[in-house]
Structure 1
């Protein structure tokens, strides 16, 4: 269970102000069913993180503890750099006519595929307890999408995520550098 809480926290921090949450808010307004859209977005996050956990489970026997730490450091560094860039608006998926169940499920899944949260899940999964890492990240993604869906697009976009993303990005960079130096035995 020691992977559950870090995965949840990392997912919440990386999803705040990111495109999947904004897409969830957009689709919740479009369909007028915020709970349904949030649950489908949460399932999309859970599916993507389950794939990352399976990949981590497969990679784990091949990695030494130092390599596992370096993978986590790399995930933190990449998330840190990603937090320093502006978020582009996601496609509104107006041409998708799949309803309030499948549009958020597939749209958020495709948008979040390979994102920072899944990289964290992969890194945490190689260190042990991959399914707890996937569950924590899936719950974190769902929590952010739920809030975005309830608030709706206008209120979600009015939250000043730009400064928050920079602060989180700098914290990720510092943590990633610290873990990398420790894994390389330079500390």
Structure 2
């Protein structure tokens, strides 16, 4: 299975309801779109690269059905968590570093081990080309971050997330169920 498109779609959907775009929108208001995007891109590329590498390392240890079930679990985690609103605990107001560094560190800390990275890990475990999963996820996360940076904090918060969250959650949870049935050989 070529993971580029599935990673792109899943991370795009999950990213709309995740915390990193909220932080990117906030930081873009403070530092500007280009500086914030530079840091966000680096954070996403490194994070998804690590997740894909870890998935490639685990893949030989798991049978094919277990890798498919791992993907179903990742989709379930992503789908379930999209149902809840993304809130920031820290606006990084006290950080006195340059904009790209604040964005890279802030987005990197929020994204470290998050649901989208778990999804890339699971997708990478199912494919001989994990770099494609990392690439698709990085492109999707960067696209969502760009929209958030362009809209800014006020514009991003006005998007209809109360409508989007249940729709995205249902899509991802439905895909998770279908994937689990395939892994268990019930479908």
For the criterion TM > 0.5, the same-fold answer is yes
Q: Deviations over 1:92-141 (max 9, x none)?
A: 10111111110000000000111111011101101111111011101111
SS in 1 for 2:68: helix
Tell me the equivalent position of 1:113: 112
Count of matched residue positions in the alignment of Structure 1 and Structure 2:
186
Tell me the equivalent position of 2:90: 91
Deviation (angstroms), 1:86? 2.1
Distance 2:83 2:24 in 1: 22
Distance 1:69 1:154 in 2: 40
Distance 1:42 1:121 in 2: 16
Q: Is the Cα contact below 8 Å between 2:124 and 2:133 reproduced in 1?
A: yes
Q: Structure 1 segments of 4 or more deviating over 6 A?
A: none
Q: Is the Cα contact below 8 Å between 1:19 and 1:90 reproduced in 2?
A: no
Deviation (angstroms), 1:89? 2.7
Deviation (angstroms), 1:91? 1.6
Distance 1:103 1:162 in 2: 29
1:125 aligns to 2:119 (yes or no): no
Q: Deviations over 1:30-65 (max 9, x none)?
A: 11x202211211211111111101100100101111
**TM-score normalised to structure 2 length:** 0.95
SS in 2 for 1:2: coil
Distance 2:85 2:149 in 1: 21
Q: Is the Cα contact below 8 Å between 2:37 and 2:145 reproduced in 1?
A: yes
Q: Is the Cα contact below 8 Å between 2:120 and 2:133 reproduced in 1?
A: yes
When the two chains are superposed, the root-mean-square deviation of aligned CA atoms in Å is 1.2
**TM-score normalised to structure 1 length:** 0.95
What pairs up with 1:25-40 in 2 under 5 angstroms?
A: 25-31=25-31, 33-40=32-39
Tell me the equivalent position of 1:172: 172
Structure 1's unaligned 5+ residue stretches are none
Structure 2's unaligned 5+ residue stretches are none
Tell me the equivalent position of 1:162: 162
Distance 2:72 2:3 in 1: 15
